[in-house]
Structure 1
Amino acid sequence: MESNIVTPDKTIIQPAVKEQKASLPVTGMSCASCALSVESMVGAQPGVSQAAVNFASQTLQVSYDPDKVTLTDIQRNVQDIGFDLIIDQENAQEKQEEAQQNHYLALKKRTIAAAILTIPVFIIGMFFMDMPYGNWVMMVLSAPVLFYFGRSFFINAFRQARNGKANMDTLVSMSTGIAFGFSVFNTFFPEFWHERGLHPHVYFEAAAVVIVFIMLGKLLEERAKSNTSTAIKKLMGLQPKTVWRVEGGIEREVAISEVQKGDLLLVRAGEKIPVDGEVAQGSSYVDEAMISGEPVPVAKHKGDKVYAGTINQKGSFRFVAEKVGIETMLAQIIKMVQEAQGSKAPVQKLVDKIAGIFVPVVLVIALISFTAWLTLGGDNALTQGLLAMVTVLVIACPCALGLATPTAIMVGVGKGAENGILIKDAESLEQAHKVNAIILDKTGTITEGKPVVTDILWADGVEPRKQNLQTLLLSLELQSEHPLAEAVVRHLKDQKVRSLELDNFDSLTGLGVKASLQGNRYLAGNSKLLKEEGVRITPELTIQAEALRAEAKTVIFFSENTDAVALIAIADRIKQSSAAAIRTLQERGIEVYMLTGDNQQTAASVAAQVGIRNYRAEVLPSDKAAFVKELQEKGKVVAMVGDGINDSHALAQADVSIAMGKGSDIAIDVAKMTLISSDLQQIPKALNLSKQTVRAIKQNLFWAFIYNLIGIPVAAGVLYPLYGFLLDPMIAGAAMALSSVSVVINSLRLKVQKI
């Protein structure tokens, strides 16, 4: 602890509090209300100024005074309510993943075992209730279901109660516990009821089935929960583990951690660039799709910048390291993705909100009904009061409430998969119908994502020799290292054109290629190359070239001797369905934006062709995420649609993130929805599916509660003074089961609805 500072005039100055911040993985959370419990417990601890728990990323962001509270104190506080923190920062993410995986596997085993024991209990309770020793068999089989496989409900309820809180576990444990205890009493002492003219009903099957159904709901939620760390791991995997460092003219392989600013590094063909830097010697083409999203590799010469994680294509070069470690652009992208995923507020499920009110209300009603019977009842006041209390708790048991969301979500997810829409979690499916702004990446999303030949226009008079000229063009481009040459080669090979051997091949950097055959000279390249070589381009070809460039196409000329004989237009072709899908979204009142790392001319051309009015060109990955945030700050619910590594930050930031199935693995991992076909027509379908699923969830909640709204007052005995009617706990159990059946059937209706 820092001591006070005493000035010459005897004034005592206390040192400023040095507050610390920490991001700690939380384990054991299974619902949004769990996150709220952890948040409130940590936030109430002395020395903690701020605490925020993100259920989606399973992390606690905490600001605290280390002089007043330690991380160990905070961890102990969280453990008191049944959860845990990973305070050892070394391999924290791996430990959290391992804990989550172990929790899921343990829950799966417990659910299966509980279901196996519950099936015979259910059969006996519903169809063979009068069989000899039936009650004893059910008691023996249902006891481990409740108190071993379902013990977490009772443990969590006790911990919540100890801290003055109540949640769904409270209601589950009380209703099943009282139903079980009541049934045990009736099994051991049936004569107690016989003497009073009543039949000693048991509710072992109701208690066991409730536990299994709720465990199944939790298992489905765990399985649906997304694991965002996979995307981070793949981003980290873009950086090589070792690098070639040039020392005194000698190349030596060293670990990337040893690289310092100013080191001279070598990158060979096909290798990933390890750090950010500047080319010192050599030239090559580098695939920078992870930064720009554009499919065409970029030419790199002396003085050009290169970035970590990008891929060197065919040449090799040496470059000077300028940014290493966490300073590289790749490291910044990783950091931005992590922050965007961690900054989302936890989704407060509708069920948890209702349960927060529902649980204490049911407990109060049960106690009031018992007290009322004791006070106002007749000869059998204790018996009827006990029956009324048990009936209230049984009919109010939240089995249907626990199934309302997961059943609709699971059917919705299955329906999406049938239609080529893969949905990772409930949050995105619930949010999608609220979307009123959609951002589309250009390359690979609106367009096909790879350069293709769109036009080959031949000069007048060369048509009779077209076949021979195609052979010569293919032979020339086959030897070129330029990325666009691959598009020409693909196009001609698809047309079954064959190649032959050329003489005197020469590659002219930044211009094109040339070769000769039988005394004839052939060139393929830009207009600058033809001009330098004295080749004539006809006015017709010049006009056609300008028209194609206006459509944002790259033009390559092909010449024989002194005359241009053809021009080839290459572009990233727009998908056939893009314009129609964008029009459908706009007709729904959704604002559509296009963002691209490409130049202004290309962006304007593509936007015009698909009918997008709002677009931005030459944007970096961080610019895309910033634009998403800008729209969110204006109150928009934003969907981001992309396919590349450069889209991953914006995808993580968006309210709903959608990846193209043919895009990068990292974009698919970060996004919460994936369109398998990469067809934008699937987006309106995904929004429709969301709307239908949310409607089904709300209907399910209605069915889950309508029985309670009618049944709880009846179970409490409000009709007894008027009609002498007191609801039998068995009927209450049937009503509870019927509400669950109604929920499941309503969810299954989603399967037959059109999207």
Structure 2
Amino acid sequence: MATDVAESAGPAEATAGTADAPRVTTELAVTGMTCGTCAARIQRRLGRLPGVEASVNYASGRARVTHPPEQDPDELVAAVTAIGFGASPVAPLVPASVPSPRPSSERAATPRATPDADAPDPELAELRHRALVCLALTIPVVAVAMNPDWQFRYWQWFSLVLTAPVVVWGGWRFHLAAAKNLRHLAATMDTLVSVGTLAAFGWSLWTLFFGGAGLGGMRHGLYLLPQPDQFDGARTIYLETAAAITTAALLGRWIERRGRRRALGVSAALMAPPAAEARVVVGDRELPVPVEGVQPGDRIAVAAGEPFPLDGRVVEGRSSIDAGAMTGESTPVDVEPGDEVLAGTRNETARVVVETTRAAADTQWARMARRVEEAQAGKTAIQRLADRISAWFVPVVILVAVNTLLFWGVAGAGWGFAIAAGMAVLVVACPCALGLATPTALAVATGRGAQLGILLRGPEVLESSRRVDTIVLDKTGTVTTGRMTLRAVHTTREVGREEVLARVGALEAELEHPVARAIAAAARDELPPRTAEVRDVTALDGLGVAGTVDGVRVLAGRRRLIDEQDVAVPAELARALDAAASHGATTVLAAWDDGSGAMVARAVLEVADGVREGSAEAVAEMKARGLRPVLLTGDNPAAAAAVAAEVGIAADDVVAEVLPTEKADEVRRLQEQGATVAMVGDGVNDAAALAQADLGVAMGTGTAMAIEAGDVTLVRDDLRAVPVALRLARRTLGTIRGNLFWAFAYNVAALPLAVGGLLNPMIAGVTMALSSVFVVGNSLRLRRFRT
């Protein structure tokens, strides 16, 4: 990322750094920015401070500044205000550690890092008011100027009366910003708009009062191209140009700001806290407590229709929950005691009691909010290049405009024509669209991705995703569920599946071994509720278990246990054991007394780590998109081959019996062969491989280390989100590039026309505003991205 940001509980956040150079990050809310050039100026100014790195986001109005811990944030604020902008430190939306409980009034006063998209925006309302008033005044001015037949006697003075408030009152924000920048010997797009409109208005005043333009009966038409005239421009007025440029700039700024709020609105809604308080269950009472004060292990009550304020495990009650806000799932999910729930999801049907498993700052929602904030602060490499260009663009444009004015004036085309050409250069070259190209697209994409359960770490992810051609998949917990499940039951002819599950399931329910839990869970799911009498249960040194179920002696365990008990194994069960072993499954042989006192082998139960729902579909989509899936696991080759065959991964692309420390080496080996690798994993043993890969994708329910090492986090346990995440990243990068291309293409194509006197200043003003509107509108198309 452009700035490596860590998380903290206050305005200054602790940041990872070298042992001898600790760093902290402070986030500033910046006011007064009007274009990407402003952001570039602030970033350069902060970057001149010793040991400081900054990333300034024009779209969100935020600056993330990494600096030495001894540096006072007030120095950062002073650096920004010294060049004419406003700044103040803001607290992160979600701290990384739980703060001590504070009074509710103090919590309410804490500034947020992301604006509430539903809160009124005074500046937006003021822009709308000025833009609409100026539009109403400008329309008759332009209409009369365009049609000589409507130009009544002294129509020009009528136009002056309507234009003056547009230029002075409507354009005041541009003039004020230009004056502030001039004091600091700087220029932005406001400078271009201000100078252009004042030049057009000033020339018109001169011709009205001192030339012949104020005479009764004076007429002139509106031309797409400026034209020299016999009076050397002394009877030419540009009131319609001054009014149209001001109004177009105001309308563009209003639409742009409204679009930016819409772009940021999805992520702002996502990052709004699920709830400020939780009802902690104490005895038979429910006490409201701020979520920051609830600790893991506390029990909270959540009524129907309420959001879950914290992550936890249901301990009382059954309900359906709407998990769409966190995972993108469209259908409700049923939960019962033992099931996990996430903060931000909504309880739908009945009251439940939840035992919290994470503090407020460590919930999945908090991780999502921090990841979205960090992603929106960064810039792509191409955007950083655009920022450097725009920083020098405005001064160069002013120089070109002055030279254009002098060239046409000295060349004899007339000073009126020369002024028109110079104004067109100033207005048409405004680089406002450049500063919006990345931030708006990234804001929409991160917000939309979060809705779908996909979190992008930052803009660099977009650039990495474009080149990925190989996806390495960890097996356990990623392709599979990471939990043992009953895969098959092979029986002799004398017994059925239900009888086997009834006897063995009742016996295994007394143990805590993963294999035992898998069999007991299958029995509970498949059989009607009943209470079996289980006695004399004995665990046999890791070989299995023996006991009495409903008066019948039952033995369940490995083949070795059955052999040691001198129990014969029928041929069909022996074949089932061999087949299960060939694809790496764990087997349990079950035997019980046939009534004569002799133990008889009755069934083979096949248990394995179950393939996650959607894994096969995900692999198929990866292949369809030209990606090579590779299965990487520490499990034995037989088990790995069986899982690979089930999900559709070629046998040659299976790497088994890999130690945790060797996973990163395998990723590096693929990279050395020329592959661009995305690694998908969920455990601590995957963290190094995730960091080594060109693109790391972490399962959101995995370990914190894996999540931090990943570039993309999938909130839900669904491998199908991997190709969706790649498509979203590539679509976003394509949108950013499209935005930048058209912003540059507009300037490159229009500037020579303006210099050559082939562009009317009013037309230039309208197209300048439309370029910003296009960039914002193009970015908003990402809201319609579908899985």
1:120-519 matches, within 5 Å, as: 120-122=133-135, 124-126=137-139, 134-135=162-163, 138-139=166-167, 142-143=170-171, 146=174, 170-179=187-196, 181-182=198-199, 185=202, 191-192=208-209, 194-195=213-214, 196-199=234-237, 200-201=239-240, 202=243, 203-216=245-258, 219=261, 347-358=379-390, 360-374=392-406, 377=409, 383-405=416-438, 427-459=460-492, 461-463=493-495, 466-508=497-539, 510-517=542-549, 519=551
- Partner letter of residue 445 of structure 1? T
CA contact (8 A) 1:600 1:618 kept: no
Aligned in 2, Cα 1:206/1:617: closer, same or farther, shift over 3 Å? farther
The aligned counterpart of 1:736 is 768
CA distance in 2, matches of 1:646, 1:111: 50
The aligned counterpart of 2:322 is none
CA distance in 1, matches of 2:685, 2:272: 17
CA distance in 1, matches of 2:383, 2:435: 8
> Cα offset for 1:443?
2.7
Aligned in 2, Cα 1:39/1:387: closer, same or farther, shift over 3 Å? closer
CA distance in 2, matches of 1:578, 1:242: 32
Structure 1 unaligned blocks of 5 or more = 1-17, 231-236, 244-269, 271-286, 290-309, 312-329, 720-725
Aligned in 2, Cα 1:70/1:679: closer, same or farther, shift over 3 Å? closer
> Cα offset for 1:374?
3.4
Confirm or deny that 1:552 pairs with 2:590. Answer: no
Aligned in 2, Cα 1:664/1:142: closer, same or farther, shift over 3 Å? farther
CA contact (8 A) 2:380 2:463 kept: no
The aligned counterpart of 2:607 is 570
CA contact (8 A) 1:213 1:403 kept: no
CA distance in 2, matches of 1:751, 1:398: 25
Note the alpha carbon deviations across 1:346-388, whole angstroms, 9 max, x for none.
Answer: 6444244234335534533433332443365168855444433
Aligned in 2, Cα 1:419/1:362: closer, same or farther, shift over 3 Å? same
Note the alpha carbon deviations across 1:598-637, whole angstroms, 9 max, x for none.
Answer: 56664455346522625365655x8767876887799865
CA contact (8 A) 1:430 1:693 kept: no
The aligned counterpart of 1:273 is none
CA distance in 2, matches of 1:377, 1:83: 41
| Partner SS state of residue 466, structure 2 | helix
CA contact (8 A) 2:636 2:656 kept: no
Which 10-residue stretch deviates more, 135-144 or 472-481? 135-144
CA distance in 1, matches of 2:253, 2:456: 28
Confirm or deny that 1:709 pairs with 2:755. Answer: no
Q: Which of 620, 641, 655 lines up with 1:615 in the alignment?
A: 655
| Partner SS state of residue 188, structure 2 | helix
Note the alpha carbon deviations across 1:506-544, whole angstroms, 9 max, x for none.
Answer: 241734433324642012333454455554433542342
CA distance in 1, matches of 2:271, 2:655: 29
CA distance in 2, matches of 1:471, 1:391: 86
Aligned in 2, Cα 1:699/1:728: closer, same or farther, shift over 3 Å? same
What is the root-mean-square deviation of aligned Cα atoms in Å?
5.8
Which 10-residue stretch deviates more, 703-712 or 736-745? 736-745
Which 10-residue stretch deviates more, 183-192 or 558-567? 183-192
CA contact (8 A) 2:546 2:553 kept: yes
CA contact (8 A) 2:697 2:711 kept: yes
Aligned in 2, Cα 1:634/1:116: closer, same or farther, shift over 3 Å? farther
Aligned in 2, Cα 1:556/1:642: closer, same or farther, shift over 3 Å? same
Aligned in 2, Cα 1:518/1:675: closer, same or farther, shift over 3 Å? closer
Aligned in 2, Cα 1:134/1:530: closer, same or farther, shift over 3 Å? farther
- Partner letter of residue 209 of structure 1? L
CA distance in 2, matches of 1:491, 1:72: 62
| Partner SS state of residue 434, structure 1 | coil
CA contact (8 A) 1:117 1:145 kept: no
- Partner letter of residue 439 of structure 1? V
CA distance in 2, matches of 1:629, 1:483: 34
CA contact (8 A) 1:224 1:424 kept: no
CA distance in 2, matches of 1:735, 1:452: 63
CA distance in 2, matches of 1:420, 1:344: 16
CA contact (8 A) 2:263 2:780 kept: no
| Partner SS state of residue 100, structure 1 | coil
Identity among equivalent positions (%) equals: 28
Confirm or deny that 1:110 pairs with 2:142. Answer: no
- Partner letter of residue 768 of structure 2? M
CA distance in 1, matches of 2:673, 2:588: 45
CA contact (8 A) 2:36 2:434 kept: no
The aligned counterpart of 2:681 is 642
Aligned in 2, Cα 1:116/1:567: closer, same or farther, shift over 3 Å? farther
Note the alpha carbon deviations across 1:41-86, whole angstroms, 9 max, x for none.
Answer: 57756xx5x665577997656679x9xx999878865765669797
Aligned in 2, Cα 1:147/1:651: closer, same or farther, shift over 3 Å? farther
The aligned counterpart of 2:11 is none
> Cα offset for 1:729?
1.4
Structure 2 unaligned blocks of 5 or more = 1-18, 100-106, 145-157, 215-233, 274-290, 298-314, 316-337, 341-355, 594-598
CA distance in 2, matches of 1:349, 1:87: 27
> Cα offset for 1:742?
5.3
1:11-26 matches, within 5 Å, as: 20-26=21-27
Note the alpha carbon deviations across 1:244-301, whole angstroms, 9 max, x for none.
Answer: xxxxxxxxxxxxxxxxxxxxxxxxxx9xxxxxxxxxxxxxxxx9x9xxxxxxxxxxxx
Aligned in 2, Cα 1:528/1:627: closer, same or farther, shift over 3 Å? same
Note the alpha carbon deviations across 1:663-720, whole angstroms, 9 max, x for none.
Answer: 689977986656677554554454345444434443443333333233222222x24x
- Partner letter of residue 753 of structure 2? V
| Partner SS state of residue 207, structure 1 | helix
CA contact (8 A) 2:408 2:415 kept: no
CA distance in 1, matches of 2:56, 2:767: 33
Aligned in 2, Cα 1:35/1:52: closer, same or farther, shift over 3 Å? farther
Note the alpha carbon deviations across 1:104-128, whole angstroms, 9 max, x for none.
Answer: 9999553454345434434553577
CA distance in 2, matches of 1:650, 1:127: 66
CA distance in 1, matches of 2:296, 2:734: 53
1:40-51 matches, within 5 Å, as: 48=50
| Partner SS state of residue 235, structure 2 | coil
- Partner letter of residue 551 of structure 1? H
CA distance in 1, matches of 2:697, 2:739: 27
Q: How many residues align?
A: 624
> Cα offset for 1:560?
0.5
CA distance in 2, matches of 1:350, 1:580: 35
> Cα offset for 1:732?
1.0
Which 10-residue stretch deviates more, 349-358 or 22-31? 22-31
